[in-house]
Structure 1
């Protein structure tokens, strides 16, 4: 491979980033805005291959036709893996086209799941099977009792969320509530988790669990190579629902998943539709619960955040459990409220 040079791209250099974007464009791929590290392989100063990462997710991978089969993929992955090791990260994902599966399995990656146009693989010191075994041990989850599950973001935790959990608890032997761990919300994960855990402490058949990397996370959102919004949404919802059904439900004996009716948010509505389509194929019933309302308006986290932005703090007390109200009145809670924008992520 004469003239091959590996180069790190300065993501603050608009011209350099544009060059990478233009190269990816020839493969009908996009460079995600959230990448934090990008390298390219040049031959005679021309970009011939590239790979990026966002935290521990490898993405935006492309190799020119004339360099395929030459070991360039291994060079790219090795260089980005070295960066992860420097950051103290020893587990990674790769989200890629199905056509690239063989490339990455040959480099030690294991397939988690694939759908029509995308695949999610992983490599490192643990995998999804080991993760779930550790989850069972950490939260003392038995595999005999039939369980119901709920996945929530709770940004922040509202009486609507609490109502859904209580409904599930009244109809189930045990309920596992997974709180989305990805920190892309106004309220940090640890605060969302604690609001929920304290808010449902009276429900003795409910366990509140860290959502981890395999549920609604950076690893399961393939925005970088699917252009159309409907394709992006379909890939994300289908993959996430399938991983939950194949691994979480099977391992933890989850037979029902509870969801809240969603009249407003397109993303959540599409996700709910995917769950209804996919989970029954894994023997899991999807139970949709009508949203709790207050004064003829459904209770939502986005409504609470809107009231925060408008400075109507006292109105919030009617929409949230005591655990949330008490947190909002702490120093940390007030600091978070001061940074909230209406456009911040939903739910």
Structure 2
């Protein structure tokens, strides 16, 4: 549905020139929820403006829903945008129009007749859960309700792609989850491809199938959300994962440096998907006759998988430790020696 090949976009002149998107390669399949995460200044917002044709790439190729945006005419871009819905951090509603009129505006721009517009508005009001609020003005709505209007408006012309630019960062946590659940439901019911730009790892974990991590204009890591959470590779990704891990733990994330009293080898184990519910560790204890001690554990969830994390104390090193780690690897358990444990 979306393809970027070496896409680059810069701003400014001479020494002040800034490369906001730097030779980015991305592929988003039809029907996916794809998250793009990064800190402020990473290039996320420029990337999304390239995807809806509001900015033209300096070089590289960008294709959305079969249209080559890199070389499309302005007329072709205007037509394409009808099939690329967009929702914004600060809603961007027309304050002099009611809920129904805001949703209808997108259809009016597209030249849809009044009868069809009225029916479509009624359908969308129901889809986003705003029944009874059709005649309310934005000033009479909560933040979550305003964003629901924004989502309905973005869906008005039956788009193939929905772009979300920090769509939940202005909302409280409970409302954020409600909006994310709505987007996930829309994705399942309509088969809509969704691209989420965010700086919140919670958003990625809750609903995304795939994720790309941006830093200084580059994509530094990409893959299935569950894999990125289980085994982050780039340092910026590790920091994002640590932040959400810490937020999920009442007393803070487990810090191995503070694990006093732990003897032997301290190992971190990662279980992904069905493995989180399998007795792999118990089987290993019986297999190797080792009194493995669990020091800390937790389970988190991405959209389609559970991820289990265990810190265990193992009274083994050398060949015995090698054999245990090989046994776990054969069962797709990722292990990392945190402290001690010389290997042969």
Specify the TM-score bucket, using the shorter chain as the normaliser: under 0.3
Q: Relative contact order: is structure 1 or structure 2 higher (C-alpha 8 Å, sep ≥ 6)?
A: 2
After TM superposition, the score normalised by the length of structure 1 is 0.26
After TM superposition, the score normalised by the length of structure 2 is 0.27
